[in-house]
Amino acid sequence: MSIIYNEQDRSFTLQNGRIAYVMQLFHDGYLGHMYFGRALKHFNLQRAFYQTEREGAPNPEALADARTFSLDVLPQEYPTYGSGDYRIPALEATLSNGTTTLDLRYKSHEIFQGKKSLAGLPATFASDKEATTLEITMQEVGGELEVVLSYTIFDDVDVIARHATIKNIGSGTVYLRKAASLSIDFPEADFDRIHLYGKHAFERNIERTPLNHGIEISSSTRGATSHQHQNFLALCAHNADEFQGEVYACGLVWSGNYEAATEVNSFGNVRMTMGINGFDFKWQLKADESFTTPEAVLVYTADGFNAMSQHFHTLVQEHLVRSQHKDQLRPVLVNSWEAAYMDFTEDSIVRFAEDAVKLGAELIVLDDGWFGVRDKDNCSLGDWTEINAKKLPNGIKGLCDRIHGLGCKFGLWIEPEMVSPNSNLFRSHPDWALGVPNHIRQQQRNQYVLDLSRAEVRDYVVDSICEVLGSADIDYVKWDMNRNLTDIGSAAFPAEQQQEIVTRFVLGVYDIMERITSKFPNILFESCAGGGRRFDLGMLYYMPQVWTSDNTDEVCRQKIQYGTSLVFPPITMGCHVSACPNHQVGRSTPMLSRFICAMSGNFGYEMDLGKLSAEEQEEVKSHIALYKELRPTIQQGKFYRLMSPWEGTQNETAWQFVAKDGSEVVFMYFKNQCLPQGNIRKVRLTALDENATYKVTHHLFSPSLAANALDYLSNYNLEGDIFGGDELMHFGINMDKVDRDFAGHLLVFKKQ
């Protein structure tokens, strides 16, 4: 068993042979956190927590004479406010008597094989042979609250999954004001803090700063995990890099408002917490009612950020994504949006598809504009069953059948969570949109947000979307969500529950996703939220891939995809080639560079391939064929970052994929700006067999980028060359000198 309770020293140890997590009960049932890190053969618990008197640190009455024990310095598992701990609490509540002081003590525990599901919430899963779970029941000394802390340790991945269930065991009404999913204390503060920040069309940039005294918070109050900040947080050693150094990282299986915080106190201790954002959060608990927090996942490694990412990637693929498409190769997709926007007909989409299929496309997606009277984004959201007969006289089925007739799959765009003011749905049910009395609703993109806290609204969404999806043999759905939440109120709930609505909205999203995706298990669902607004672990539970960003510019995408890969495997990332000048930033880059960047995930195109020149079409055809050849390694292999666009020259990026069996390596390198008399870059690969040799089977580069193209072709084409595995890892490979901007290189190695 991977979890042991030692009755003699009242300790709990979770371990899988590589990592360990240790807790201990102190005095009258205080639960302390003793250790999280590399598995240890011996651990002297008696000396793990150094107790000494601290000025200003209150002492429990029974220990007042000693003056050396205080909750203000005890590393705790689920801290509260009011009983002597002044740091960030994990739990805040207003009890039925109006007071807010909480004091949690140990009551009981249970250890069992496997892992329970969380009702109404996405969460990781594991069989009895894959994980062990510990549930520790704590009780508030006043007798009104019971808190069950759940910990699961996995056998195959170095992750601890945590959540809490808070139950009202009293007779009055309690209001939760904060309920974190995870809190962990560290005895020292000698860390860097890493989080992912951004904005629409430039998500998940990496920011690394030394940990500072006081409280630092990354959060969202937008009703979604947001473009602005990712619900991921890491603490790492100052010397940590991609391949060495300790990293402690956490992520939240949640898609709404969240808070990830660190606090360094005056004694040099660190507390890290993560969970639903306590800002504007209040949850009513009547007698015998309970609230379950979203699940948090906690990763430890001593081997740097690549190892951290490998644990996250394995967790996502093996213990989070449920879709039957999880282990299937994903199709090459061509989307109509940037090719046609809302100006299309059935015949024009079929022509668009014919041109794409000739070049190797496997999935054609009809984006926005197929329903209601939607020629602009100012109407018809919600009128899903009213198919636009002018554009699609034979309905969705007519177009779908014609696309299938080309030997290609068919996909459709939807945005089920929104409603247009100018729609039949809103005219019939104006109270079905989120709104606050005596306020005029705010619009964004000419739309409101549906009140998914209401069962009748969720039922309408499920029924209407299922009617559309059931009308034709649809293979793929792009599920969009294009605005943040405002005017958060519901006509269906009383005043004392209005601060629950933003959380109930997310639970409502999960409900409709669960019902729709379960009814259509054969459909490949891709989540989208104005691009990457809601790229999170919660979404991946229902949909195995996410549109990474609305920005398809190859230079920007290097950073976006690099940052995204810290947590998410490339198979979850939608990555497409678009036309130039790029629609988001106006930049023109070579087709090859765009292809190499986009092939680093779920590959596709956002352009009308039929409008390319004959020469460009041949290039696209060869690119698609090559991607199909390399797809098993890219989608199902292991991903390694080699050069960061945020470090070094900040002008170069490199990464690689290694096939599951190690037989193939796909290596990409980008250099965005040419420098006069530039240095020759040597890049070292990783995770190869030192005793094997590797043959270059493909070497893609742009001769036109070199000053002397003929010399470049004759001297720098490495196809057929053989390198040693040790050579590639320890000596490296020289990258080509180029004399133009936006160079992209692809090398494929076959193990001999």
Tell me which residues are annotated as active site: 480, 550
Q: 360 CB contacts (<8 Å, ≥6 apart)?
A: 332, 620, 621, 624, 625, 628
Return the axis-axis angle of helices 455-469 and 501-519, rounded to nearest 10°.
30
Q: How far is CA 261 from the centre of its chain?
A: 18
**Do residues 525 and 542 make contact, with C-beta atoms less than 8 angstroms apart?**
yes
**Do residues 308 and 249 make contact, with C-beta atoms less than 8 angstroms apart?**
yes
Q: How far apart are CA 134 and CA 109, in angstroms?
A: 7
Q: Residue 606: which of 364, 350, 351 has the closest Cα?
A: 364
Verify cis geometry, omega within 30 degrees of 0, for the bond prior to 645.
no
Q: How far apart are CA 153 and CA 361, in angstroms?
A: 42
- The two tokens of residue 527 are 């989540």
Q: How far apart are CA 586 and CA 578, in angstroms?
A: 11
Pairing of strands 214-220, 232-236: unpaired
What torsion do the CA atoms of 499, 500, 504, 505 make, to the nearest 10 degrees?
0
Q: How far apart are CA 722 and CA 752, in angstroms?
A: 9
* CA 713 vs CA 46, 436, 709: distances in Å: 68, 66, 6
- The two tokens of residue 470 are 């059931």
Tally Cβ neighbours within 10 Å of residue 662.
15
Q: 61 CB contacts (<8 Å, ≥6 apart)?
A: none
Tally Cβ neighbours within 10 Å of residue 350.
18
**Do residues 362 and 401 make contact, with C-beta atoms less than 8 angstroms apart?**
no
Strand residue runs (E) in 393-536 = 409-414, 418-419, 448-449, 476-479, 524-527
| DSSP state, residue 731 | I
- The two tokens of residue 512 are 């409709």
């947080």: which residue's tokens?
233
If phi > 0 it is left, if psi is from -120 to 50 it is alpha, else beta; for residue 704 that is alpha
Q: How far apart are CA 706 and CA 741, in angstroms?
A: 10
Tally Cβ neighbours within 10 Å of residue 627.
18
Q: How far apart are CA 227 and CA 200, in angstroms?
A: 5
Q: Is 80 helix (H, G, I), strand (E, B) or coil?
A: strand
